Amino acid sequence: VGGLEVSVSQSALVGIEAAFEQLHSYPWYCTEQLSSRLLPVVATSSLAKSFGVETPAVGDTKTADLISQIVSRQRSSGGFVLWNDSYTELPWVSAYATWVLSEAKRRGEPVAEDVLARASQYLSGLVNEQQATELDWVYGVSALDVLAGLGHAQRADLDRWFEARERLPLFGRALLLHALWASEGTQVRARSLQRELENAIHLDGEIARVSENVGDKYLVVFDSPVRT
Q: What number is the average pLDDT over the span 154-180?
A: 96
pLDDT for residue 26 is more than 80 = no
Lowest pLDDT segment from 93-97, 116-120, 135-139, 204-208: 204-208
Residue 144, CA distances (Å) to 6, 16, 153 in order: 39, 34, 6
Instruction: Render 62-76 in DSSP notation, one character per residue.
Output: HHHHHHHHHHTTB-T
pLDDT for residue 42 is more than 50 = yes
- Give the per-residue pLDDT at 93: 97
- Give the per-residue pLDDT at 163: 96
Residue 47 to residue 67: CA distance in whole angstroms = 19
pTM listed for this prediction: 0.85
